[in-house]
């Protein structure tokens, strides 16, 4: 299984458009190689380099396993977006206070058609993939 983006390559910089310094919208994501047995997909975007511990930027559950792309500035139809560390559902872009942070776009293929919390993901994961983006704010 694979997750990619047309906006940035793995371990490369995320364009400012997708951060708090730009439009703060999610980048386009391409999904491939999902196991045939998958009943749904889940996506978590987080920053393990945040000073207060891992900061969650986006949680999307119950994504149709046939989904091949998540377009820029959108969530998959019929999916469930959960509250993030920004205390609201939906995408919140990178916005590190200092230094370069890593942003993990983690995709999970699940054996359950519907779950209601991120805590349920480990028990239902049959495959996973990740894409890492980097970002450092250019504060002048």
- 66-104 burial, b at 16+ Cβ within 10 Å, e below that, comes to ebeebebeebbeebbbbebbbeeebbbbbbbeeeebebb
Q: How confident is the model at residue 23 (pLDDT cuts 50, 70, 90)?
A: very high
**Mean pLDDT within 47-73:** 97
pLDDT, mean of residues 56-76: 98
Q: Please give the backbone phi and psi of residue 46, each rounded to the nearest 5 degrees, phi first.
A: -145, 165
Q: What is the mean pLDDT of residues 83-99?
A: 96
Q: What's the chain's average pLDDT?
A: 96
Structure confidence at residue 138 (pLDDT): 76
pLDDT range class, residue 140, cuts 50, 70, 90:
low
Q: Give the global pTM.
A: 0.96
The structural domains of the chain, ordered by start, are: 2-135 (3.90.280.10)
Comparison of pLDDT for 37 and 140, the residue scoring more: 37
Residues in CB range of 21: below 8 A, 6 or more apart? 95, 137, 138
Q: Above 60 in pLDDT, residue 77?
A: yes
Q: Is the pLDDT of residue 139 over 70?
A: no
Q: How many CB atoms lie within 10 A of CB 29?
A: 23
User: Is the pLDDT score of 95 beyond 60?
Assistant: yes
């Amino acid at each position: 299984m694979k997750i990619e983006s047309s906006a940035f390559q793995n371990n490369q910089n995320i364009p400012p458009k997708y951060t708090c310094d730009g439009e703060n919208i999610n980048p386009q994501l391409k999904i491939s190689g999902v196991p045939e047995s998958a009943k749904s997909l889940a996506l978590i975007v987080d920053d393990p380099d945040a000073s207060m511990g891992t900061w969650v930027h986006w949680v999307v559950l119950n994504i149709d396993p046939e989904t091949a792309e998540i377009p820029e500035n959108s969530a998959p139809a019929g999916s469930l977006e959960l509250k993030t560390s920004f205390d609201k559902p939906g995408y919140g872009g990178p916005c590190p206070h200092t230094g370069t942070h890593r942003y993990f776009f983690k995709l999970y293929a699940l054996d359950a058609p519907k779950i209601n919390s991120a805590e349920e993901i480990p028990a239902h994961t049959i495959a996973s993939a990740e894409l890492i983006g980097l970002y450092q704010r250019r504060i002048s």
